[in-house]
Structure 1
């Protein structure tokens, strides 16, 4: 049986790892998705969700492509407690009822099969709570979520596929 000292050391290591995961080195990120100076990290979350894609005709020449549609995700803190949701808009809503919408500013590649990294400017916020005062949102450390690898052509037009993904959503406010 472990001693109380071992349990305390283990708990301290878990807390230290959780705190380390909740930091972002913006200088190490691709320039397009860096948050401007004068803003500080307010909330770091893990998003686990899905994106719905539809096979559609995309532009002239009869070309077809998987077009992203609705996306939803649950947001978790560093201890994997549910703290909110992300859905169409894009919108992020906290369990405290506050919410914020975002407007995409820039993306940067994240590797094959993964959603791109993204920087969004916060727009409308409502409710008093976690999302009040958010100025920027980043989507980082994406895993999965890219358009399906299956062919998309005239025979498959209208078909839909749901693709799972995970990403860190990081919220900033003015200093």
Structure 2
């Protein structure tokens, strides 16, 4: 009995093409999973107050994942009242594939690339981003220190916010000086002159 399988010449030519097609389909499916739900950034998705002026283009999109520290302190210009005071942020900046490309920390608010270039800036505007979230923000960048990814950045937008608002816990004279850390996530969009 002959146990050797026989294949027609047509089938023999078709199998390598079918394998290549299956591989391409699989790679395409995996590629679309690399950044689930990501679409090109559009200023139309943010309030007008925090939109970057015309004449600029997106240079880099990052996602900041980290925490904000608050401290229970006397409220400025309000004798006898207390408030949660924003002490500073600490976050990792990731690119759209999830790879760490820099960090964000302060004070002063500083965005630093892994290549060593960094910048600070002055807040231009904010807009509410929903309950429990820190606000949208537009920052005018100061000239970058060091050469690299931050060189030439003119504006930074904080968008796509999740969390980070001041703690809901009571802040009173009984817990004056107490610090609380709040987790947050936000996209930082870096702009350069077009």
TM over 0.5: yes
Q: Which runs of 5+ in 2 are unaligned?
A: 1-20
List, as ranges, runs of 4+ consecutive aligned residues in structure 1 with deviation greater than 3 Å: 14-19
Mapped pair 1:11 → 2:30: yes
1:153 Cα deviation from its structure 2 partner: 0.8
- Pick the structure with greater CA Rg: 2
Please point out which of 71, 74, 90 is paired with 2:89.
Answer: 71
Offset at residue 126 of structure 1 (A) = 1.4
Provide the secondary structure at the position in 1 that maps to 2:143.
strand
- Deviations 1:64-110, CA, capped at 9 Å, x for gaps: 11001021110001110000000112111111111111111110001
Distance in 2 between the 1:66 and 1:15 partners?
38
Tell me which moved more, 61-70 or 10-19: 10-19
Partners of 1:136 and 1:173 within 8 A in 2? yes
Residues 1-175 of structure 1: matches in 2 within 5 Å? 3-14=22-33, 20=39, 23-58=40-75, 59-88=77-106, 89-175=108-194
Which structure's residues are more often strand, by fraction?
1
Shift of 1:27: 2.9
Distance 1:119 1:66 in 2: 23
Match of 2:9?
none
Two-structure CA RMSD over aligned residues (Å): 1.8
Gaps of 5+ in 1: none
Q: Normalized against structure 2, the TM-score is what?
A: 0.83
TM-score computed with the length of structure 1 as normaliser: 0.92
Contact 1:48 1:75 in 2 (8 A): yes
Kindly tell me: are residues 15 and 98 of structure 1, through their superposed partners in 2, closer, same or farther at Cα, counting changes over 3 Å? Answer: same
Q: SS in structure 2 opposite 1:125?
A: coil
